[in-house]
Amino acid sequence: MKFDRHPTELLIVLVVFLRSHAHPNSNNEPVEAPRSPWPRPDAAVMETVQTYISWGSSAGQATPDCKRFLATFGANRSWESPFTSNEFMEYDIEGACNRLAMNLSWRVASLDAGQYLYPLYSQHLGMESYWKVGFVWNAVGGAKNLSHVFNRKEYNFTIITVLWLQVYPNNKSYIFNAVDVFWPDAEATFPTTLTNMVDNYVSFLGGNCKTWAELFWRDVGMVTVSGEDTGYYGPTGLTEYCSKMVYMWSSYVHDVDDMSYSVDIYSSTVEKVAFTWTRTGVYLGRVRTDEILTVFYIRSAPTPKADLKIFIAWDFLQPPMEEASLMT
């Protein structure tokens, strides 16, 4: 059983090998694919995302359209981002957008390659009216005249954003809460402490589940996985989740892609870590690949060294059809 990081070439070889040894379906008749009970991010959600990252700008426009931006949010709304200027929580969405518009001379925004949206559905969050979607995007812009944005004349950031969407009676999803994870003053090299935390999380420390649970904060750490009907809470729940994953995935390789983090402006400590990654391997005897976006909420542990620990981990991914159908 291996959960170590491997080069991309080995990942490709593994997938080819596993597929070549998979048992063929003895029934050659077409089989109707199982239907997922989860809503997939559709064109309407993609339009909401595009409007969000452009701050309401229409195609070809370089400045925000704050009324159009506000229209993507529901009645109860909040925006958490360094772009809001207070970097904490902004409820006056249009006002924060207008302040940006006054200070920007030009701006473009684009989704990551493939325009991939990572959903999260969780019954204990009330999936009938709320769900989340995460994505990676790039923001490029400049400041007007002698003004500055993040103490610079120009900026170019890779951002990981999570939108908490509320489904209204018209079956349209509006933004309830938006969170941009990035840190304008971040160095080019990702902090080693956070890189190690990410690697230890995705590898399950080679199946050492008791030690893996120690990545989390005291007795209240938690993991929530898209499609699961409950979260895994505390040392017992976290060890249970790790053991379950080690059992179900007899082997897999993983590759971490984009990584970002944000910092609490009051304590200057890391507050959130977000990253995208791919997991490919043998899941219950079948080849499977998961595209995942994970978000950590971080707290400093009450130790003399004030070590950073995971408070909550969210795994965003589209649940496989066969698993989703079992939950209905």
Please check the confidence at residue 275 and state whether its pLDDT lies above 80: yes
Which of 162, 181, 200 is a domain's end point? 181
Q: What are the pLDDT digits (tens) for 66-81?
A: 999 999 999 889 999 9
Tally of domains within the chain: 2
> Kind of pairing, strands 249-263 and 232-233?
unpaired
H helices, E strands: number in the chain: 8, 12
Does 45 or 36 have the greater pLDDT score?
A: 45
Asked whether residue 304 is assigned to any structural domain, the reply reads yes
Shared domain check, 112 and 216:
no
Asked whether residue 30 is assigned to any structural domain, the reply reads no
Among 149-158, 195-204, 274-283, the minimum mean pLDDT is found in 149-158
Shared domain check, 253 and 158:
no
Shared domain check, 193 and 173:
no
Q: What are the pLDDT digits (tens) for 180-218?
A: 999 998 877 889 999 999 999 999 998 899 899 999 998
Q: 164: domain range?
A: 43-181
Which of 151, 181, 211 is a domain's end point? 181
Question: How would you list the strands of the sheet with 222-225, edge to edge?
Answer: 232-233, 222-225, 308-316, 286-300, 270-283, 249-263
Which of 157, 181, 205 is a domain's end point? 181
Asked whether residue 143 is assigned to any structural domain, the reply reads yes
Shared domain check, 79 and 143:
yes
Shared domain check, 196 and 126:
no
The CATH number linked to 234 is: 3.10.450.50
pTM passes above 0.75: yes
Asked whether residue 212 is assigned to any structural domain, the reply reads yes
Using CA atoms, how far apart are residues 230 and 241, in angstroms rounded to an integer? 11
